[in-house]
Amino acid sequence: MNEDLDSPITDRARRFPPHSVYAACVLILAALVFGLLALVPGIRVSPPNEQPIPLLFTLSVVILFSGLTVWFAIEVLRRKNWARWAMLIYLSLGWLLGGAEVADTFAQSPLAAFIETFSMAMEIFACWLLFSGASAQWFRERSTRQSAYR
């Protein structure tokens, strides 16, 4: 029976992420794209007394944080446990900063507030997927195997 567990097929299956890891990464990337909709000028209404934010600055920030999100997702799919934790911390900071503004955003633009809240919910569910069940086991097996070789 042990031979079945150590076959090349099961060893190969252990290397590939479980469906929950794929689903979590897809949810995080979908939340990113969905959240970008909240930046569209017709959806997000700025107060009349507020200075408009320069387009170049907005694009720079979007590219920086989108790139960081994609990079973390790729590293998570490569079974890097540090990336899973970094993704959680990174998203948590976004929830804290974004969550503090939801009421103000809702007063200015209910649609933008809904988009941001729904994106946060998608990210929270994705993090739950990354840290529970088959995902947690997959990352745990990697760290157990690495410590066994040291």
Q: Which of 18-27, 48-57, 123-132 has the lowest mean pLDDT?
A: 48-57
Q: Is the pLDDT of residue 5 over 90?
A: no
Q: Is the pLDDT of residue 3 over 50?
A: no
Dihedral (CA of 57, 93, 141, 25) sign: negative
How far apart CA 123 and CA 107 sit, in angstroms, is 23
Q: Which of 5-9, 33-37, 66-70, 80-84 has the lowest mean pLDDT?
A: 5-9
pLDDT of amino acid 106:
86
Q: Is the pLDDT of residue 134 over 90?
A: yes
Residue pLDDT, tens place only, 81-104 = 999 999 999 999 999 988 888 888
Nearest one of 62, 122, 68 to 95, comparing CA atoms: 122
Which residues, 6 or more positions from 126, have their beta carbon under 8 angstroms from its beta carbon? 23, 24, 25, 27, 28, 31
How far apart CA 137 and CA 18 sit, in angstroms, is 9
Q: Any alpha helices (H) in the chain, and if so which ranges?
A: 2-5, 8-15, 19-36, 55-77, 81-108, 110-130, 133-149
Q: How far apart are the first and last CA of the chain?
A: 27
Q: Grade residue 146 by pLDDT with cuts at 50, 70 and 90.
A: low
pLDDT of amino acid 143:
64
